[in-house]
Amino acid sequence: MRDHLPPGLPPDPFADDPSDPSAALDSVEPAQPLDADERIAVEEDLADLAVYEALLARRGVRGLVVICDDCQQDHYHDWDMLRANLLQLLVEGTVRPHEPAVDPCADSYVTWDYCRGYADAMMHTADED
């Protein structure tokens, strides 16, 4: 069996297997680089994410919940995963699939809209002081 992983890592159980389930990914077209407007939007999301985490993590919020366009279910993303996804989007133009959170506590996650409103309220309060 020919292993394509660096020495020291466990062998790939599907190496050279013609029925490798990941073979379907080989036919996926490579992502296109983001255009200038898309890059700016992702960079703004990264900046917003840093603010939201700074404001909300200390209050026990673990990250964001988003409704998946494909399955119409809530997906829970911790702050670090969101940041990694956005950075990967900037570099590669796409986000790789990832494992969903296992039995997340829904009360520990909020929406982007909640974060925006909370940050706006905090800025308004700071302006009044």
Q: What is the pTM of this model?
A: 0.73
Nearest to residue 106, comparing CAs of 52, 55, 70, 61?
Answer: 61
Provide the pLDDT confidence category of residue 1 given band limits of 50, 70 and 90.
Answer: very low
Angle at 89 between CA 88 and CA 90, to 5 degrees: 90
pLDDT digits (tens, 9 = 90+) for 49-67: 999 999 999 999 999 999 8
pLDDT for position 8: 64
Provide the pLDDT confidence category of residue 28 given band limits of 50, 70 and 90.
Answer: low
Region for residue 98 given its phi and psi (left: phi exceeds 0; alpha: psi -120 to 50; beta: otherwise):
beta
Of 29 and 5, the one with more pLDDT: 29
Identify the bridge partners of residue 75 per DSSP, sorted by sequence position.
66
